[in-house]
Amino acid sequence: MYKTLIDKLSKESFLTKEEYLSLIEHRDEVREYAAQKAREKCDQVYGKKIYIRGLIEFTNYCKNNCYYCGIRAENNKCERYRLTKEQILECAYIGYDLGFRTFVLQGGEDPYFTDEILSDIIKKIKTKHPDCAVTLSIGERSFESYLNLRKAGADRYLLRHETANKDHYEILHPANMSFDNRQACIEKLKRLGYQVGVGFMVGSPGQTYEDLANELIYLKKTEPQMVGIGPFIPHKDTPFAEKTAGSAELTTFLLSLIRLTLQDVLLPATTALGTVDYLGREKGIMAGANVLMPNLSPSSVRGKYLLYDNKICTGDEAAQCVECLKRRILKTGYEIVTDRGDYIQGSDKNEI
Ligand code: SAM
Ligand code: FES
């Protein structure tokens, strides 16, 4: 019965909320079959290729106070840092040599990084490496700001919606943060022709299976080019310190459902997945993921961008991370490739 539902999903790329829910509830019976079908689907679109994106965590200053996040403003135990322009460009330079053709600039919502400063950094990366894509992941900004950054050359934007349920959003965030504004930001990014990534944490406090079923409906409706999901992991200096972490098994099953729902989506096997399970990233790939985002930040600051406890790879150099991942991925029968790895459909839509 559940296999039939996976077949239906594989064929029609859509299920009802009740059908998604019953799959999530009975996933032990279909996990392997779902992973096999998801992998087949991904192979049809992307072959045996796994794309890498070099993550540059350029600031851990943040004005927000998301209850789950280790770099939230009120965490005064967090040692703050900002990379200089030169350091950021150096990360991209090292990354380029290592084969990266996409750089993801990620940070807290740090008012120091104005449009002007960011535009200069984006332009410099694009001038030096015209064959590369620049992805931003710097939270909620105005339409005008997203426009300026797009004009400066940013190609993609990751803004996890965090949850499609407004009541749940309010469990995860303080009252001055708004579900509606986050959704509005995603709309603005789409209108500006960014390739957009959304996503959520698996097992975040207050999340139900019904919420997860709704996430799949939301993703189908939103049609993002990328979806970033990873388990919630508590951080000791946040209000959620005592909450339970999300699991690798549920995360990988959801990766399979997402792959079958949005067949050509770019789907990372995240660092958080590799943190809750030593082989999490490999398991993510075998369940339908096709992107890895190793860290290019200088090793001197890696131990400071701690969103959650026990984050992996905080002591490594970029080159070590890439070598390690290449070895790990080869064992799965897949291969890391170095082209930009654009979304296969739709990337030329709405260009400004
Ligand atoms: N400030 C930007 C934003 O809000 O989109 C980007 C940085 S933010 C730290 C990136 C993502 O990390 C968030 O969207 C959230 O889903 C994830 N994250 C934060 N705390 C986490 C935790 N404790 N466990 C797992 N993921 C977490
Ligand atoms: Fe701002 Fe996490 S609270 S990045």
pLDDT tens digits, one per residue of 176-222:
999 999 999 999 999 999 999 999 999 999 999 999 999 999 999 99
pLDDT at 273: 98
According to DSSP, residue 141 is labeled: -
Nearest alpha carbon to residue 138 among 67, 197, 53: 197
Q: Which ligand is nearest to the CA of 135?
A: 1
Q: Which ligand is nearest to the CA of 80?
A: 2
The residue type at 278:
Y
Q: Measuring CA to CA, how many Å separate 38 from each of 24, 42, 103, 256, 317? A: 15, 6, 27, 5, 33
The best mutation among 61, 64, 75, 113 to test binding of ligand 2, ranked by most ligand atoms within 8 Å of the C-beta, falls on 64
At residue 348 the predicted structure's pLDDT band, cuts being 50, 70 and 90, is very low
pLDDT 10s digits, 116-125: 999 999 999 9
At residue 138 the predicted structure's pLDDT band, cuts being 50, 70 and 90, is very high
pLDDT at 349: 34
Q: Please report, rounded to a whole number, the percentage of residues in the chain having pLDDT higher than 70.
A: 98
pLDDT at 334: 96
Q: Are strands 102-107 and 133-137 parallel, antiparallel or unpaired?
A: parallel
Q: Measuring CA to CA, how many Å separate 348 from each of 6, 79, 192, 193, 261? A: 31, 41, 11, 8, 22
Strand order in the sheet with 226-231: 54-59, 102-107, 133-137, 156-158, 195-202, 226-231
Other CB atoms within 10 A of residue 171 CB: 15
At residue 1 the predicted structure's pLDDT band, cuts being 50, 70 and 90, is confident
Helices (H), 47-114: 85-97
Q: Which ligand is nearest to the CA of 231?
A: 1
Contact 117, 153 (CB under 8 A): no
For the chain, the maximum distance between any two Cα atoms, rounded to a whole number of angstroms, is: 57
Nearest-CA residue for atom 2 of ligand 2: 69
pLDDT 10s digits, 272-312: 999 999 999 999 999 999 999 999 999 999 999 999 999 99
Contact 133, 340 (CB under 8 A): yes
Q: What is the pTM of this model?
A: 0.96
Q: How far apart are CA 86 and CA 94, in angstroms?
A: 12
Ligand 2 centroid distance, CA of 44 (Å) = 37
Mean pLDDT score of the chain, rounded to an integer?
A: 95
Ligand 2 centroid distance, CA of 60 (Å) = 8
Q: Is 66 in the pocket of ligand 2 (CB under 6 A)?
A: yes
pLDDT at 59 over 60: yes
Ligand 1 centroid distance, CA of 307 (Å) = 7
pLDDT 10s digits, 97-112: 999 999 999 999 999 9
